[in-house]
Amino acid sequence: MNKPPGVVQLGNKVIRSKAKNVSSVSDPEVQMVIRDLISVMRERNLVGLAAPQIGIGKRIFVTEVRTTTYRKNIAQPDKLRVFVNPKIRSHSKSTATEYEGCGSVAEAMLFGPVKRFYMVEVVAFNELGEEFVFQTNGFLARIIQHEMDHLDGIVFIDKVTDTRKLLGREEYIYLRK
C-alpha cells in the first residue's frame, strides 16, 4: 500500500489555484483522494483537509471534529464527513472572529484571527455520490468555510483581520491553556 502524501505548503502553485469539480465520485482516483485526505488529516492531527492541500486540484474536502494533539476539549465533536463539489447555500448574518491555523502554513507555524459566518448550510456529495444538505454552526462551520476557501485558492492568512495579532505556534498553544 502506498504511503499517503504529505500536506502541501504555502508557495506550492496548487494551494493558490481554483480546484476543479469532480465529474464522478465513484472514479477510483477520486476514491483514492478521499482515502488519502482522511489518512493525512488524521495523521497530522487536523480537523479538516482539502484536496489542494495534498496536491490535488479537485473540489473535495473532509472534516472530523475530534480530540487531537492540540485540541483536547472539543465541546461539539462531529463524525467524519466527506464533501465533494460543495457549495455554501446559505449562511447566517452573524459572524465570529476566532484564531485559525492551517496544515498548509504549518512550516510557518502561524495562527491568526479570521472573521467567519457563525452558521453555514452546505450542499455537496458524499463519498458514495449521494447529494446532501448539511447545516452547522460554530467550530464546524468555521472549518467548512476554511476548507471551502482552499478549493478557491484562498489561505486563512489572506483573511486575517489584524496581522498585528498573528501568533507563532508556541505562543498560540500557550495562550489556549
Q: Which residue has the cell 453555514?
A: 120
Rounded Cα distance, 65 and 145, in Å: 14
Determine whether 147 is an active site residue: yes
Strand, coil or helix: 170: helix
Angle at 53 between CA 140 and CA 126, to 5 degrees: 55
Mention every residue, 6+ apart, whose C-beta is less than 8 A from residue 177.
none
From the CB of residue 169, how many other CB atoms can be counted at a distance below 10 Å?
Answer: 14
- Which residue among the candidates 127, 130, 147, 170 is catalytic per the annotation? 147
Of 65, 168, 45, whose CA–CA distance to 112 is shortest?
A: 168
Q: H-helix or E-strand containing 141? A: helix 138-151
* Residues marked as catalytic: 147
